């Protein structure tokens, strides 16, 4: 198998749409000015809700707007996973959907760095 240019890039974010909510969990290389951790990556959690509202005062045109409901930064994967379930349960009532999102987030951490995953998936 050829690696390099043809290699499939591991995901940098997970985006899930549930009812009117858009949940985005992203991973980014740690910024150089963040010195209180030695981890390689930082994680970001954004939850927005789509609302319809009038575009202007004098018009009947309606547009969709994204309203920020929750935003949080995590300096390592384990801190994210400790609090993701309670945060998501404020917006999602089905525990199966929360579990599915957590499994997708797990791919952010382990897809590219886990040798066992690379061996079993053929990457």
> Given this model, what pLDDT does residue 22 score?
93
pLDDT values of the chain reduced to their tens digit, one per residue, 123 residues? 222 233 445 558 899 999 999 999 998 776 665 666 666 778 899 999 988 887 777 878 888 888 999 999 888 888 899 999 999 999 999 999 999 999 988 888 876 554 444 444 444
* Cα–Cα distance measured from residue 87 to residue 60, given in angstroms and rounded to the nearest whole number: 36
CA-wise closest residue to 18 among 90, 121, 113, 77: 90
Angle, vertex CA 1, rays to CA 26 and CA 77, nearest 5? 20
Give the burial class of 108: count Cβ atoms within 10 A of its Cβ; 0-12 exposed, 13-18 middle, 19 or more buried: buried
- Judge if pTM exceeds 0.75: no
3-class state of residue 123 by DSSP: coil
> Given this model, what pLDDT does residue 120 score?
43
């Amino acid at each position: 198998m050829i690696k390099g240019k043809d290699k499939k890039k591991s995901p940098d974010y997970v985006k899930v749409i549930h009812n009117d909510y858009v949940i985005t969990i992203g991973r980014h290389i740690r910024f150089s000015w963040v010195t209180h951790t030695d981890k390689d990556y930082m994680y970001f959690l954004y939850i927005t809700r789509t609302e319809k509202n009038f575009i202007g005062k004098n018009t009947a045109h309606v547009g969709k707007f994204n309203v920020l409901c929750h935003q949080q930064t995590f300096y390592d994967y384990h801190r994210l996973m400790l609090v993701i379930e309670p945060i998501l349960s404020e917006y999602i009532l089905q525990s199966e959907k929360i579990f599915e999102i957590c499994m997708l987030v797990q791919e952010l951490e382990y897809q590219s760095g886990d040798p066992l995953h690379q061996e079993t998936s053929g990457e």
